[in-house]
Structure 1
Amino acid sequence: MTLERHDASPVPAASATSARRGTRRWSRRRGVAGVFSSLAVVGFAAAMVAPTAVALADPPETDEPESAYSVALADTQNITVTVEGATIAPVERGTFEIYVKPKPPPPPAPAATTSSSGEKSTPSAAPLFYTGGGAPAEWMAAAGIAESDWGYVDYVVSRESGWNPNATNKGSGACGLVQALPCSKVPGNGYNPVDNLRWANGYAVGRYGSWAGAHAFWVKNHWW
């Protein structure tokens, strides 16, 4: 018995039998290799998916406490599914109050006083008393008062304040050597003897014409 090849050449029977056996062995080997390859692919895929599935199904336990943000986030994501669709439950919010301490009211302004001559004065809350020292002659010279008028000035000042630069009338608020009223009308500081006498020099000349006229008025009326 002979077999024919595609090229029509005769093939011995023994050779044909050996070829069939070789083909069957090759087919079996290829099938076994395919099965093992499929099992390897399945095993590899299971190895990759298994940790992820475990992680999604059972999150690891931690000792860290839940934060206020995570709790609030979980509350806001609490969704109830209905037939119409997804509805978000409203978040209940609390209220709080803030107390603002009011500012203290400003201290009241000093009350104005009225002297016997009708002049109003507002006493200073903190008078700047004089502590510089000196003598009457030095003060009058520094104030620009002529030496020929010093006698008149001494007469008036001695009766008004006794040459005390810090003398203050509690009733009217008049201050200084010549008891200027109000004290605030004196440029500078009413308790400074030079400032007080400088103002008094202009007052005596302006109202009475001279210190002599101021002296005469004081002798007659006991004020000036």
Structure 2
Amino acid sequence: MTSPNETRTRTAAQITRRDVRAIDTRAAAAPASTRLNRRRGVLNVFAGVAAFGFLAAYLVPTASAMAEGTPGSRFDTVQENAQVYVAAANLTPAGSLVYGAGYGVKLEPQSDGSPHPKASAEEWAAYAATKDVEVPAGATREEIQAAIDEAAKKAEEEAKKAEEAQAAKAQPAASSGAIALGSPLYTGGGAPSDWMAAAGIAQSDWGYVDYIVSRESGWNPNATNASSGACGLVQALPCSKVPGGGYNPVANLQWATGYATGRYGSWAGAYAFWTANHWW
């Protein structure tokens, strides 16, 4: 049987051994903790060096760019490069794109005063109003442009019709084979030489006169153009221009002399024009 003294001795011995093992454990763990602290210190040093290097890499180019007067931001660099590219490539539509310090685009009007083809529908609607062209509400730019083109085409056709009507009104009335009122047919007889002499035409011009009259009327004093109403030896148009009657050969030749000299300078000039154009 164990006595109380032995029990106390053993308990003390056991506690002492536990303490010893605890002390040994802490002693063994101490170097690992020290090594870990050293590693953390090295990592902190490297992190500081890396941060300094990153800061230097950012600040040095920026400071250098500012010292050289070049854009310091990526936005400024892209903006400058874009403008240089547009200018070098000549990409600007003539009279339409305005580029400068920013990216704003201005669409200039066209040479006829109409808006740029890519202008807004509101601008085209305002232009249509100045042309008295009705634009339905909500119309697109393309629909407004089509309406303006259609109105211009219609106005051109109406102007052409009015011009033709005016020309027809000025044209003397002449029916097929009709004789102009107040210009009786010639019945007096005679020969071409007699008519030219009576009209006061110099003999040196008779050849020119014969060439033109032969082709205009065949020397028939009563020749009449069925479609235009031209009459007489030289086919005067209208007959009423000939004093004394369009069918009188002498009066017709006298008028023709004034016409030839007034328009072509002489009968020779009239002859040259006729041979080149087959009319006079």
Shorter-normalised TM-score: what interval? 0.3 to 0.5
Greater fraction of residues in helix? 2
Report the TM-score, using the length of structure 2 for normalisation. 0.37
Give the structure with the larger strand fraction: 1
